[in-house]
Amino acid sequence: MRKKVQLIFTGGTIAMEIDPVVGAAIPVLSGEQILMNVPGLDALADFAITNFGKLPGPHMTPALMLDLAAEVKKVLSQEEICGAVITHGTDTLEETAYCLDLLIDSPKPVALVGAMRSSSEPGWDGPPNLIAGVRTVCCDSARGLGVLVVLNDEIFAASEVTKTHTESLGTFQSPDFGPLGIVDTDRVLILRRPAFQEHIDTIKVDTRVDIIKMAAGVDDRLIKYAVESGARGLVIEALGRGNIPTYAMPGIKYATEKGIPVVIVSRCLRGRVLDTYGYSGGGHELRQMGAILGGYLSGQKARIKLMLALGLTNNLETIQRIFEQNYY
């Protein structure tokens, strides 16, 4: 029996053409127009189509992510749908994928795909990425993996993947753990499964979460400004294992004393944060102040997670457990 896949088109470079007046790529293609340029796709499955939007990646917002999650939940509830493939702009693809991964609790696979080249450019990678995404969600071994990112014939967990290059076709990588599998011609090979999956059961998101990046000599001005201007949560991209300059410490104390959750991640591409160091500004002192450790998450993913956590609760102990229960 042929499987049926829901295709949800949100825009991105995969839906772009170079506009002769503007002289640059803009999103213009509908889902139906994209499919007309993907020969052989209809041999893989039957399809239902949702044209969610024609959004460039930078135009995606957390509120739209919630709307998208609701749409995905609705279609996955249909018995005849085996999974969903979502096209998306690559600039924010990892954030949307992670948001969906936290919100959707279904064994049916969901794959986000995109393109690094527009349909006007030689070597448009949209069609092969779309084919790989469909092959993945049709594969029984992809069930129960959570939300996936499929590009360049590699399959990544949404919780682990990040964009690493501004233009390379192999830009999406999982620096710490590598891909879950690959698409090899007509076969999907799942090589490992995530150790755990996390879900946040909320229909709300609090967008008042700011990211502040640490560097040598950074002080606490931006931290205090964020708090005073209404931030409900802070993500600090700290140095190394999770440490910050001494000059920034008063700002962390200021935030935590006001009951604002402060999540510490690392600006490094790989590795998790830990309260290893006991000097002033070290992770140990941050923990004593009430800061929350963000595990392996990047700043942008920690922000998504904190916005959803705040949509669920204001209880700091619960938020800490949401972030730390599987890492510490």
215-228 per-residue burial string, b: 16 or more CB within 10 A, e: under 16: eeebebeebbebbe
209 confidence band (pLDDT: 50, 70, 90): very high
pLDDT at residue 138 in the model: 98
Catalytic residue status for 10: no
Per the document, the length of the chain is 328
Are 86 and 158 in contact, with CB atoms under 8 Å apart? no
Catalytic-labelled residue, pool 13, 50, 90, 256 = 13
Longest alpha-carbon distance in the chain: 64
Q: Which domain holds residue 317?
A: 209-324
**pLDDT one-digit tens code per residue, 239-267:** 999 999 999 999 999 999 999 999 999 99
Residue 28 pLDDT more than 90? yes
Contact call for residues 131 and 44 (beta carbons, < 8 A): yes
The angle formed by the CA atoms of residues 26, 27 and 32, to the nearest 5 degrees, is: 145
- pLDDT at position 86 is 98
Across the chain, mean pLDDT equals 97
Task: Tell me the C-alpha distance between 159 and 15, whole Å.
Answer: 25
* pLDDT over 90, % of the chain: 98
What's the pLDDT score for residue 139? 97
Residue 303 falls within a domain, yes or no? yes
pLDDT band at 167 (very low <50, low <70, confident <90, very high): very high
158 within 8 A of 146, measured Cβ to Cβ: yes
Q: How confident is the model at residue 328 (pLDDT cuts 50, 70, 90)?
A: confident
Span 308-320, pLDDT tens digits? 999 999 999 999 9
Q: Is 35 helix (H, G, I), strand (E, B) or coil?
A: helix
Bridge partners, residue 284, by sequence: none
Q: Are residues 182 and 226 in the same domain?
A: no
Q: In the listed set 163, 190, 217, which residue is the last one of a domain according to the structure?
A: 190
This prediction has a pTM of: 0.97
On whether both 237 and 164 belong to a single domain, the answer is no
pLDDT range class, residue 327, cuts 50, 70, 90: confident
Helix (H) or strand (E) holding 163: strand 162-163
Q: Are residues 230 and 163 in the same domain?
A: no
Q: How far lies 30's CA from each of 35, 54, 73, 84, 94, in Å? A: 9, 7, 22, 17, 22
Task: Indicate the residue among 161, 190, 219 that finishes a domain.
Answer: 190
Check pLDDT > 90 for residue 93: yes
**Do 314 and 220 lie in a common domain?**
yes
**Residue 178: predicted pLDDT:** 97
pLDDT at position 1? 81
Classify the C-alpha dihedral 126-128-130-133 as positive or negative.
negative
What gap in Å lies between CA 38 and CA 135, rounded to an integer? Answer: 13
The tens digit of pLDDT for each residue in 102-117 reads 999 999 999 999 999 9
Total domains present in the chain: 2
Asked whether residue 201 is domain-assigned, the answer is no
Is residue 197 included in any domain, yes or no? no
Per-residue pLDDT, 137: 98
| In a domain? residue 231 | yes
